[in-house]
Amino acid sequence: MPANNSKPIKSALISVYSKDGLEPIIQQLNALGVQLYSTGGTQSYIQKLGIPVIPVESITGYPSILDGRVKTLHPAVFGGLLARREPDHLAQLEAYQIPEIDCVIVDLYPFEDTVATTHDEAEIIEKIDIGGVSLIRAAAKNWSDVVVVASKEEYSLFHTLLTTQQGAFTPENRRELARRAFKVTSNYDIAIFNWFNEGTTDISFKYSIHRSDILRYGENPHQNGVFFGEFEKVFDKLNGKAISYNNLVDIDAAVQLMREFQVGKPCFAILKHTNACGIARRNTLHEAWQAALACDTTSAFGGIFVTNTKVDLPTAQEINKLFYEVLIAPDFDQDALELLKKKEPRILLKIKGFDVPKRSFRSLLNGVVEQDTDLKTETEADLKTVTKRVPTPDETGELLFAAKCCKHLKSNAIALVKDRQLIGMGCGQPSRVDALRQAIAKAHAFGFDLNGAVMASDAFFPFPDCVDIAHEAGITAVVQPGGSMKDQDSIQACDARGMAMVMTGIRHFRH
């Protein structure tokens, strides 16, 4: 029997876009003797089930008008929703012959799905739900008297409560459903704002409040962590343990890095703590994997692996020999997947696309900063030769590869590249000289010959010392943004040593 503080549903207004999962709810409401009201397609759906339903227009006295834009927006509907179940409000309902509505079930027009599938502005505009959002807000505001189901994601919970509690809902049930309802409308409004805001200079704070409980823990095991977002829109998780905060941060870094290399020959990258310790592009994925691993065989242990192409069995067999946290790929051959899934804790992610958000956020102090995501990728047109010697065509390709690698290392950052392979990297150093010395030391530690290699720097050289050190190591060409008051000193140092230097005018700091 219902608890003493529970209230039964006696009437329900149902107006939904998606009918999936709706039939059991309608059948159960009917079995409990609940009076149903509905509109348009939902009304026809209920009638086809052979269940009695009252059209909303019989309450309002108006048909659906303006191509369905106005169906429920009427005092006879909202009065029944917003009235407190107390003598004064109930007397007004009786005076105006307005029925009480105890429950609202709504599933909004699919605005986000429409934006994702078309650029037709008229079609997108028609998917901005007005009546549905208004019904949800009214019902959720009056949650102590009205039960609200704001999306098909809540159908299962509502049906369970409806069945097990014989149509009666406790205050806790009602409040929880109201909380979920405002979450739905908040997300909906944010999605609409984002679409209207696209291409403007308004960097207003906006975010997704889709709560996804995918994290094992926060940055450390003693810290709880929650991800607010829709992970499943980016990945299909094919295998592995729950994702941790650090996994998620590394996964984000891996996606942003491989976005730079998604087109062209097979590319493989290995990241550790958001920094790439191995990147290589080759004619086959197996060769790309071997070259990426050779960049730093030590740091690869426990790393994040990402590639721009389908993982085949020969590559999977080699990967499987090494301990790793996450492997990201656009697809997996079936035999490769079966092999990799045998290591149950290993996280395998099938990425749906290497697109990244155009805005990024970070929490600082008692607030949040927002900025445009660094989506700039240098092309040959961005390279301005500033030295007497012009880079050879092969050096130009190497410099562009190095610039992409360097962009995704923490500042101060230096990337050393040879034969489309990251053979040395220095990152997170307090000085650019330290970063360069670190990169050279790593290259030597793993047996690389730096003669003929190229160097990329994420910011300008304030002094010519890095040029001197690079030349001594055998580096022949440099790419950097420029912008120092002493740029000419570095240029002259290159000229004196027969090195080529190009400037891009674009800095890529990562803090």
Residues 192, 184 contacting (CB under 8 angstroms)? no
The separation between the first and the last C-alpha atoms of the chain, rounded to the nearest angstrom, is 59
DSSP 67-130: TTTBSS-SHHHHHHHH--SSHHHHHHHHHTT-----EEEEE---HHHHHHH---HHHHHHT--S
Cβ atoms within 10 Å of 10's Cβ, excluding its own: 15
Contact 477, 500 (CB under 8 A): yes
In this structure, what is the dihedral angle of CA atoms 180, 134, 12, 176, given to the nearest 10 degrees?
Answer: 20
The one catalytic residue in 141, 210, 265, 343 is 141
222 is catalytic: no
- Which residue in 273, 343, 388, 444 is the catalytic one? 273
Contact between residue 315 and residue 282 where contact means Cβ atoms under 8 Å apart: no
Beta strands 500-503 and 477-480: pairing type? Answer: parallel
Token pair, residue 188, equals 């909906």
Is residue 115 within 8 A of residue 102, CB to CB? The reply is no
Q: Is 141 a catalytic residue?
A: yes
Query: Using CA atoms, how far apart are residues 67 and 65, in angstroms rounded to an integer?
Result: 6
DSSP collapsed to 3 states, 291-322:
HHHHHCCCCCCCEEEEECCCECHHHHHHHCCC
Residue 54 phi/psi, 5° resolution? Answer: -100, 125
Structure tokens at 16: 């939904």
DSSP letters, 180-191, are HHHHHHHHHHHH
At 324, phi and psi to the nearest 5? -145, 160
- Using the CB atoms, write b or e for 422-438: b if 16+ within 10 Å: bbbbbbbbeebbebbbb
Q: Give strand pairing partners of 293.
A: none
DSSP state of 391: P
In whole angstroms, give the CA distance from residue 303 to residue 279: 13
Instruction: Round to whole Å and give the CA distance between 490 and 459.
Output: 13
Contact 325, 304 (CB under 8 A): yes
By C-alpha distance, which of 132, 148, 124, 119 is closest to 73? Answer: 132
Residues 6+ apart with CB under 8 A from 39: 15, 55, 56, 64, 71, 72
In single-letter form, the type of residue at position 135 comes to: L
- Here the tokens at position 141 are 């505001």
Tell me which residues are annotated as active site.
Answer: 141, 273
